[in-house]
Amino acid sequence: MTSNLNPPAGWFPDPTGRHERRYWDGATWTEHVFTSGSQSLDPLTAASPGQLSETRSEAVSESASRSRRAERERLQREAEVREAADRNHDEAPSRAAEPARSLQSAPAHEATEVREFVDGVTPSQGKVSFFGAKKQAQTLMVENERLAGLISHYGLDDVVELDDRKRALRAEIDSAKRELAELRADTTRAIAERSSIADEVVDLRDAVHLQEFGLFDFENPAESSVALGTELESVRTQIKQRVRTGEATEASSNFVFNNSAAKGRKFVSDMSKLLLRAYNAEAENCVKTVKAGNLEAARKRLSTVVAQVERLGTMIDLRITSAYHHLRLKELELTSRHFQAVQVEKELERARREELREQRKAEQELAREKERLQKERAHYANALSTLIANGDIEGADRLRAKLADVEHAIENVDYRAANIRAGYVYVISNVGAFGPDVVKIGLTRRLDPMDRVNELGDASVPFRFDVHALFFADDAVSIEAKLHAHFSADRINKINLRREYFRATPEQVLDALREHKVEILEYTIDAAAPEYRSSLAAAV
């Protein structure tokens, strides 16, 4: 195939040199010329015969070469098309195979002629002479038309069209395969969604069935508990299973209504459903109202409903099964335990805050006391300097003794501030408020421990506390912990451990101190209780 940069056929370099191109009509030079993109007329002037002959020969040779090159390229393209058709004969339409078969069955002299023509137009031929150029060109044109007729006769011109059609069909097949894959994926998703929806429908039907018996999936406070959540879920699953299988109630199986066994069975089923619904409603109400301290009251209420159901169902021997009732009581117990744990956590948090407040008070007292002692030490130091300057030896000795006491007090305050386990252990009682066999055992880090005792005896109790023991210890925390552990079984408030009241007498606490080898210098067994005793006397 010729390049687009080649000049149009018939236009050749001007032999006169006056223009870029001049038109050759196959026999002679014409007056048509081409220069700088524009065409014009310029008659050809006489030139030397040798020059014109040479130019004509070159023009004819170039024209013949172009014709041969064009025909050769055409034949090469057709040969490539035939080879492609032969290779893909199993995939191409039937029309694509027919031209190849026709070409194979063509007469031998026609195929030979095509090959001879292809061999004859190779560049190895020399230049065509000037006098035979026109005849050669006419011969080539005739041969070209004959070969074109052969190509048309055997249908080779349809091979390219069939190849394009084959590619289009392949593209359509690929597109159809992609659409099929997408449809299969959509089908898979639709099946999964349908399965999920079917499961939801089953769950909804099951929930509706359970609700007919008054069993609703309400929120239990204990569900959020890490320790109790799993156990509660197991209990509730067993409750639902017994309702589904009809194991929540028991009733007569041979009851007859209006001389009809079928009506009797329906009556028993309806009554069982109605009374079980009433029982479940009361059980749910008990779960929602149970607290940390009213578990027994909730159990009693639910057991009362069991007795009522049995009484109302006497005619058909209807009763709540003991196994089902036990599961509902277990649900109540787990809910109550959750509330107890929550209450304990709240009490511990409140106790921690109270302990922090007490610690801050002690630290503030120690800071104020240290500041006071430092001022007192500075005052004594100034006075001592004055006495020494005045020569008062006795006065200076007295101030040195006081200054030493102040230094010792400052050291004691620093020790108390640094040692957080140091403090005062106290054992107190309030006969008028709690009776003779209740004591409170605790500790304080205050500078004046009676401040803490007086705070405990404020308006929250009718009388002031009596002090049985109040002593300082380097490890007061450990002593308090030992006493609390000793009387743990006698603790009055077992939920809030910071409520340090124990059902014990002062004598028992003294024995415990001796048992744990705690040194104590002073201990009062009898409670004075002056306000309480005066109140008793006034009442008489």
Domain boundary pick from 162, 182, 210: 162
Are residues 105 and 247 located together in one domain of the fold? no
Is 216 a residue whose pLDDT tops 60?
A: no
Residue 91: its pLDDT value, please? 47
Whether residue 138 is contained in a domain is answered as yes
Q: What is this structure's pTM?
A: 0.40
The residue from 290, 317, 346 where one domain ends is 346
Three-class SS state of 216: coil
Would 367 be classed as within a structural domain? no
Beta strands at 501-502 and 466-473: parallel, antiparallel or unpaired? unpaired
- The mean per-residue pLDDT over the stretch 518-525 comes to 86
pLDDT at 213 (0 to 100)? 46
Residue 328 CA to residue 207 CA, distance in Å, equals: 18
* Residue 540 clears pLDDT 70, i.e. is over it: no
In the predicted structure, residue 1 carries a pLDDT above the cut 50: no
pLDDT, averaged across the chain: 78
- Give the count of beta carbons closer than 10 Å to the beta carbon of residue 300: 11
Say if residue 218's pLDDT is above 50: no
Is residue 186 assigned to a domain? no
Residue 436 located in a structural domain: yes
Ranges 128-137, 246-255, 366-375, 521-530: which has the least confidence: 128-137
Average pLDDT over residues 251-257: 87
290-316 pLDDT, tens digit per residue, is 876 788 888 899 999 999 999 998 888
Q: What is the pLDDT of residue 2?
A: 40
Alpha-carbon gap, residue 347 to 395, rounded angstroms: 58
- Same structural domain, 106 and 238: no
pLDDT-based confidence at residue 333 (cuts at 50, 70, 90): confident
Burial of 260 (0-12, 13-18, 19+ CB in 10 A): exposed
* Domain end call among 119, 144, 162: 162
- Pair (325, 433) in one structural domain: no
What local confidence, expressed as pLDDT, does residue 80 receive? Answer: 66
CB 302 within 8 A of CB 332: yes
pLDDT at 255: 87
Digit-coded pLDDT (tens) for 56-71: 555 555 555 666 676 6
Higher pLDDT, 70 or 494: 494
Task: Return the pLDDT at 4.
Answer: 43
Q: Indicate whether 79 belongs to any domain.
A: yes
Residue 212 lies inside a defined structural domain of this protein: no
Element of type H or E holding 24: strand 21-24
Instruction: Please state, in angstroms and rounded to a whole number, the distance separating the CA atoms of residues 445 and 413.
Output: 11
| Mean per-residue pLDDT, 112-133 | 49
Q: Are residues 233 and 155 in the same domain?
A: no
More confident residue, 363 or 425: 425
Helices 229-245 + 322-390 axis angle, to 10: 170
Residue 3: pLDDT band by 50, 70, 90 thresholds?
Answer: very low
Question: Is the same domain home to 155 and 225?
Answer: no
Residue 169 belongs to some domain of the structure: no
pLDDT mean over 143-168: 73
| Whether residues 155 and 235 fall in one domain | no
Average confidence (pLDDT) over 317-345: 86
pLDDT score, position 157: 60
Q: What does the pLDDT look like over 19-57, one tens digit per residue? A: 888 888 777 888 888 888 788 888 876 444 445 555 555
User: Residue 462: inside a domain, yes or no?
Assistant: yes
**pLDDT at res. 83:** 64
Averaged pLDDT, 515-532: 88
DSSP 465: P
Tally of domains within the chain: 3
Which has more pLDDT, 192 or 121? 192
Give the least confident one: 93-107, 250-264, 267-281: 93-107
Same domain for 226 and 156? no
Question: Domain containing 253: what range?
Answer: 221-346
Cα(515)–Cα(508) distance, rounded to whole angstroms?
10
Q: How confident is the model at residue 204 (pLDDT cuts 50, 70, 90)?
A: low
Contact predicate 282/299, CB 8 Å: no
